[in-house]
Structures are given as C-alpha cells and as structure tokens.
Structure 1
Amino acid sequence: MDPKLLEILVCPVCKGPLDYRKPEQELVCRPCRLAYPVRDGIPVMLADDARSLSAEDVGL
C-alpha cells in the first residue's frame, strides 16, 4: 500500500482516518468499526463492501 495514498484516503462514511492492516489487507475505520478490503493493492472504498468489526477487533 502506497504511504502517500494512505495519507489522503478517509472513511467514506465518517471522513475519519483509516489504519492499514497489512496481514488482513484491510483499511480500518475505528469510529465506524468498518474494514474496507484492499484487493490487488487497490482499496475498495464502498460501504456495502466493508466488513463490520467488533470493539475488540478495532482495539477499543
């Protein structure tokens, strides 16, 4: 994942920052508890494709 791209990407739901989780190939929004998949190096920033996370999953 390109670090410059990570600097400008935000959650499409709340416009908050995203954390990249390389092992899972996901971008995580902690406030929304959503994980957006990264497929073939391309982030899929669609709320319908995001996976819901528990509080433990996001580290709250």
Structure 2
Amino acid sequence: MARPEYDPWVRSILRCPVGRHELLDRTDEHGAPVLECAEDCDGPGRRRRYPWRDGIPVLLVDDAHVVTVTD
C-alpha cells in the first residue's frame, strides 16, 4: 500500500491529539501506512498509531492502536 501524498506544510502541523507531540510516518504489521507518536504516549514504551483511510489521517483517539516499542 502506498503512503498517501500530502503537502509538507500539512504534514508539519499534524500532532497527536493526546500528547500533542510529533507523529512519525510508519507502517503497521500489514504494511499499511500509519502515523505513530514520536514519544511515549500511553505509558513507558507505549505509543499510539493512527491509521490512514482513503488518503486521510484519522487522528481520533478511539481509532488509534497502542503499540509497544523498543527503540
């Protein structure tokens, strides 16, 4: 699945609605593009991932998945 295209200024203003920090471009376990919190957001080592649907980032807390990260 291809990563959605967007203007750089749009990407620069996207933030996590919970922690208000930067979101990183990542892919999920199925290879679909997601936006992932750049910092821990649901406890140590846990971050929210927000999906893209029809080329639009869905920054709704209820649609996010919390994942464990090991940096």
Decide: shared fold, TM above 0.5.
yes
Structure 1 stretches of 4+ moved >6 Å? none
Summarize the alignment of residues 18-37 of structure 1 with structure 2, pairs less than 5 Å apart. 18-21=23-26, 23-31=31-39, 32=41, 33-37=47-51
State the AA in 2 paired with 1:40: D
1:47 corresponds to = 61
Q: Which has the higher helix share?
A: 1
CA distance in 2, matches of 1:4, 1:19: 15
Match of 2:11, SS state, is helix
TM-score normalized by the length of structure 1: 0.80
Identity of aligned residues (%): 42
- The Cα shift of 1:24 comes to 2.6
Query: How many residues are aligned here?
Result: 57
Q: Which runs of no fewer than 5 residues in structure 1 stay unpaired?
A: none
Q: Distance in 2 between matches of 1:41 and 1:6?
A: 13
Partner of 2:52: 38
Task: Give the TM-score taking structure 2 as reference length.
Answer: 0.70
**Aligned partners of 2:38 and 2:68: how far apart in 1?**
10
Larger Rg: 2
